[in-house]
Amino acid sequence: MISFLYLQVNIVGMIIIFIILANQQNIDDGTGRQKAFIYLIYSVFTIQFFDSVMWLIDGKQFLYAKTINWAVSGCCYFLNCFVAFIWFIYISLLFYDKKIINKKFWAIIGIPLLVNMVLVILNFKYKIFFYIDENNVYARGPFFFISFLLALPYFLIPFYYCFKIYRTSESILEKKDCAIIMRTYFLPVIGIVFQMFFYGLSLIWICVVLSLLIIFINFQNRRISTDPLTQLNNRYQFDMYLQNIRHGITKGQPYSILIIDVDKFKEVNDTYGHVFGDRVLIETALILRRACQGTGAMIGRYGGDEFYIICKAGVKKEITKGIHQFVEVFNAADSVGVGLSLSIGSSDFLAEESFSKECIVERADKEMYKNKIK
């Protein structure tokens, strides 16, 4: 009866994963985090499948039943650490961790996964994590907890990383993302505690699936507020961000809005076509991202060939200078010779003035068009 109940729980978990996969759009934003999330979903689905097989065959007697039970249990112990490893990679990519491309970083962070894999192989002889008795019944080995300990760094380091960003970041959206990620830890931690101390319970992976569902829902909300072409924030997110500033605790804090327009964009479309025009908009988005890196600024597409940046007033000059520098770099490497040019206008305001959105944007627009005339 208990085996049937846990099998039902796993089936519900796998159905949720199917729903997530069916609605998951494979959008490559250049960071690899979308792929990491998909790999994470597949790995959780795989371990739920193996866990279901364990519950189905445990204690059953048929040809090769014991061999299958050994193999499936071994796969589960390997996947325990592997899923945690993919989670670590996903969080690192989610927050643009540059260390992710460092070979030394991979060598160090892969050690727990490698050790776990070696111990899983040795387990078939020394029964370190688990063993299958003569009645084909699974039982924990004397050092089963080592598998959990090896996976622990892959969960704790990202949590610390998110907490640190949440405490230090000046970006409201980044803080919001960190808060969501930290909340997803709640359910898996409950599952791990109960499963470690109450033998026979199987709660970890359904809790993980529910946490992935929370992340997925957050992704869906993000898509509502994301420009599909440039993958920047859209006009809706512009309004929401100003509301967050107004309702925040930064009264008296000076902010700036930058309105950026691609010069002679209609001519680019007419001369080179709309596909090429889309590429220009994507390249412009990349230039703005690079110029705003490390500033806590929010970047978005206002509409058409207009973009916006909302930032602390103190970093406005740094961002503007960076935009001009990256435009020069782009033009120097441009083989087509389109000659990208951006006009920038800005408007400073205090946090409590953010309710007068139209006035702030109008001031920035006027300055942008003055610069365009020059």
Distance CA 78, CA 56 (A): 20
CA distance readout (Å), 184 to 16, 127, 177: 16, 33, 11
pLDDT of the residue at 317: 93
pLDDT of the residue at 99: 52
Contacts of range 83-86, beta carbons closer than 8 Å, 24 or more positions apart: 83/40, 83/43, 83/44, 83/47, 83/151, 83/208, 84/151, 84/152, 84/154, 84/155, 85/109, 85/110, 85/112, 85/113, 85/151, 85/154, 86/36, 86/39, 86/40, 86/43
Distance CA 89, CA 154 (A): 9
For the stretch 178-191, pLDDT in tens is 888 999 999 998 88
For the stretch 315-347, pLDDT in tens is 999 999 999 999 999 888 876 677 889 999 999
Work out the number of other CB atoms within 10 angstroms of the CB of residue 291.
23
Composition of the chain by helix, strand, coil, percent to 5: 70, 10, 20
pLDDT at 192 over 70: yes
For the stretch 3-21, pLDDT in tens is 677 788 888 999 999 988 8
The band of 272, judged by pLDDT with boundaries at 50, 70 and 90, is: confident
Average pLDDT, the chain: 86
pLDDT at 228 over 90: no
* 108: exposed, middle or buried (Cβ count in 10 Å: 0-12, 13-18, 19+): exposed
pLDDT of the residue at 29: 52
For the stretch 117-175, pLDDT in tens is 999 999 999 999 999 999 999 999 999 999 989 999 999 998 998 898 888 876 666 77
Q: At what angle do helices 33-57 and 204-224 cross, to 10 degrees?
A: 150
Higher pLDDT, 236 or 280: 280
pLDDT of the residue at 199: 67
pLDDT of the residue at 36: 86
pLDDT at 314 over 70: yes
pLDDT of the residue at 321: 94
The band of 46, judged by pLDDT with boundaries at 50, 70 and 90, is: very high
Q: Tell me which residue of 342, 307, 316, 167 sits closest to 237, measured CA to CA.
A: 307
Of 78-87, 251-260, 334-343, where does mean pLDDT reach its minimum? 334-343
pTM exceeding 0.85: no
pLDDT of the residue at 294: 82
